[in-house]
Amino acid sequence: MSAPVRFSPLPARVTSAKALFLVALSAALYTACFAPLQWYWLAAVALVPLLVVLRSVSPARAALLAAGWSLLVSAGVVAAWLIDAASTYYAQPRLLGWAVFFVGTTVTASWAYALLGAGLAWVERRGSVAASLFFCLAFVAAELARVRLGGNPVALFGTALPAHHWLAQVADLGGVYAVALPALAVNAAVAGAWLYLSRGSGTRRMVVGSAAVAFALVVASAGYGSWRLASLTPPGTTDSPIAGDATTSIVAVAQDNLELGSQWDERMYGRNLDVYLRMSHELLGRSGASVLFWPEGSMTFLLAEEPRFARAIAAVLEPFGAQLVAGGPRAAGSSRYFNSAFLLEPSGATAAVYDKQQLLPLAEYFPLGSANFVARRFAGVREFTPGGEARLLPTAAGSAGVLICNEAMFSHLAGDRARAGAEYLAVLSNDTWISHSQYSTMQLGLAAFRAVEQRRFVVRASTAGPSAVIAPSGRVLAATEPFSRDTLQAPVQARESLTVYARAGDAFAIACLLLALLLLLPAPRARQD
């Protein structure tokens, strides 16, 4: 009977200091992959220090260190804008912003990485190959868990790459999770070589094998991406739609960069409509767009109760025969309100409405009713009801699948729209109150990934920008300047075919989760004769 395998910890006299340093280093490298630095090439090694530590300590310590790593990463990619935004939104001291950051990070993400760390340290007993494989699978599973269970899709590993990069094109097969896998394999191979050279863990054959697998995954991903981009942009062409094509339409976006109110306030009722009307009249006259987009919350009034506002909008749309897609509140009875997107005909009549499904907790609805010092900020229509069926808007440019603000951060919601028949995606966002370039850059990048995953054009209309039109390759065709009053116009093309990811959803990530769980099972003992 073979002797039990024991952990090989870091040297005792430097264990704590070295472990903490390596975890912090990994968090810093991971953070640098994202805005504002966007050094995405660091993704090849960003997780190596973390992986070395987690494979060198007990499961309990690994869980704590992995959770700490998650907290440090969140501090790098979220804290700069979330703390100020929360303080502003709730009109409370910055201490509340810090509380929202810490509790939100812990509840939505850290637990998933704690499980990853504990599992990796456990599987390390089985050997280097099992540990490397488990890490790649379990990291994908942890990201899936924090998105689907924690509701936190911020700074997923695959989104470090620009969406138009050839290595990101596999997103149409398995979402951002498939984009992450080659980089995870590279990190695992480098960490395996580090541990082999530093403490003799594994064998040279294992190190070479891990490197070969990682290389094969990168080559396969790059090859697929190059082929996919070539199919979208044949030689001598661009990925812009062909003018005059029956499926091509010109769309326009108006971005006013005016405060729409972080809390619903009677003083904001009807505010800024005159600005949008003036901008839209000039924009439609110049662009000839068939569909005009205003951002989330741009209509600061209840449209059904304001026929004079509808007539004012019609006076701008009708001379150009243009439709309008705009965000605003919608009342259903005396106590239920929806955060909605309206499709208005040139006559000003409402042709269709989409009600937001995935509301933002503690902003659009408030589950902690006992905390009255904050709850009173959410009176009236600031407490929304989640929408039911995700209705498409039948615009002149094609059937639009709408994603309002944070909904665009979730891949599965965009997939729902594509499967329902959306021929392009429309993202409406009110982010004036989060005036931070790190946040705006992140949101534009996520919208670009939705374009790649579904191979749909995406129209993003933001209050503060950047507003943009994004091609199915992930390339931004036109964009406004952030934090400015600006407009844009660009062609979009209605597309009907469904990607593998649209059809299968998160099947790839779920398969990674199941395989990771299998690796946690005890290895069968050899039969004793």
Tokens 């005036």 identify what position? 435
The answer to whether position 239 is within a domain reads: no
Distance CA 493, CA 471 (A): 9
**Percent with pLDDT over 70 in the chain:** 88
Q: Would you say residue 502 lies in a domain?
A: no
DSSP string, 240-289: SPPTT-TTEEEEEEEE------SS--GGGTTTTHHHHHHHHHHHHHHH--
Lowest-confidence range among 240-249, 415-424, 441-450? 240-249
**SS3 of 46-101:** CCHHHHHHHCCCCHHHHHHHHHHHHHHHHHHHCHHHHHHHHHHHHCCCHHHHHHHH
What is the structure's pLDDT at 8? 47
State the average pLDDT over residues 491-510: 97
Give a yes or no: residue 402 inside a domain. Answer: yes
Q: Is the pLDDT of residue 244 over 70?
A: no
pLDDT surpasses 70 at 259 = no
The angle at the Cα of 277, spanning 272 to 278, to the nearest 5 degrees, equals 100
pLDDT at 74: 95
pLDDT of residue 375: 40
Report pLDDT for 431.
Answer: 87
| Low-confidence winner among 153-162, 235-244, 268-277, 386-395 (lowest mean pLDDT) | 235-244
User: Residue 500: inside a domain, yes or no?
Assistant: no
- Say what the pLDDT of residue 236 is: 57
Q: What is the pLDDT of residue 84?
A: 84
Query: With 80 as the cut, is the pLDDT of residue 494 above it?
Result: yes
CATH number at residue 374: 3.60.110.10
Res 433 pLDDT > 50:
yes
| pLDDT band for position 371 (cuts 50, 70, 90) | very low
Query: What is the per-residue pLDDT for 529?
Result: 42
Question: Same structural domain for residues 253 and 228?
Answer: no
Residues 74 and 53 in one domain: yes
> Are 363 and 434 found together in one domain?
yes
- For 41-52, the pLDDT digits (tens) are 999 999 999 999
Pairing of strands 458-462, 424-429: parallel
Number of domains in the chain: 2
Helix, strand, or coil (residue 380): helix
| pLDDT tier at 434, thresholds 50, 70, 90 | confident
If asked whether residues 117 and 162 sit together in one domain, one would say yes
Q: Are residues 257 and 207 in the same domain?
A: no
Q: Domain for residue 77, yes or no?
A: yes
Q: Percent of the chain, pLDDT > 90?
A: 72
DSSP state of 191: H
Q: Which domain holds residue 293?
A: 248-494
Predicted local distance difference test score (pLDDT) of residue 94: 84
pLDDT band at residue 439 using 50, 70 and 90 as cut-offs: very high
Is residue 5 included in any domain, yes or no? Answer: no
Q: Across the beta sheet with 398-404, what order do the strands follow? A: 393-395, 398-404, 424-429, 458-462, 468-470, 476-479
Q: 513 with 409, same domain? A: no
345 belongs to a structural domain: yes
Measured on CA atoms in the order 23, 28, 34, 40, is the torsion positive or negative? negative
Rounded to an integer, what distance in angstroms lies between the CA atom of residue 361 and that of residue 482?
26
pLDDT in tens, 214-242: 999 999 999 999 999 999 876 655 676 65
Q: What is the pLDDT of residue 387?
A: 93
Residue 145, pLDDT > 90, answer yes
Query: Residue 267 pLDDT more than 90?
Result: no
With a CB cutoff of 8 Å and minimum separation 6, the contacts of 67 are 106, 110, 111, 113, 114, 117
Strand order in the sheet with 248-255: 350-355, 336-344, 323-332, 291-293, 248-255, 486-493
**CA gap 473, 454 in Å, rounded:** 10
Nearest to 299 by CA among 336, 361, 333, 256: 256
Residues 6+ apart with CB under 8 A from 361: 151, 367
Domain assignment present for 123: yes
Asked if pLDDT for residue 380 goes beyond 80, the answer is no
- pLDDT value for 460: 98
The CA-based diameter of the chain, rounded to the nearest angstrom, is: 91
Task: Say yes or no: 92 and 189 in one domain.
Answer: yes
Same domain, 207 and 331: no
- Same domain as 254, residue 205: no
Q: What is the pLDDT of residue 370?
A: 44
Same domain (yes/no): 189, 229: yes
Q: What pLDDT score does 265 carry?
A: 57
Residue 172 Rama label (left phi>0; alpha psi -120 to 50; beta): alpha
148 has a pLDDT exceeding 70:
yes
Q: Are residues 101 and 134 in the same domain?
A: yes
- The reply to whether 205 and 290 lie within a common domain is no
Average pLDDT, the chain: 89
Buried b (16+ CB within 10 A) or exposed e, 140-168: bbbbbbbbeebbbbbbbbbbbbbbbbbbb
- The answer to whether 195 and 202 have CB atoms below 8 angstroms apart is yes
pLDDT greater at residue 127 or residue 61: 61
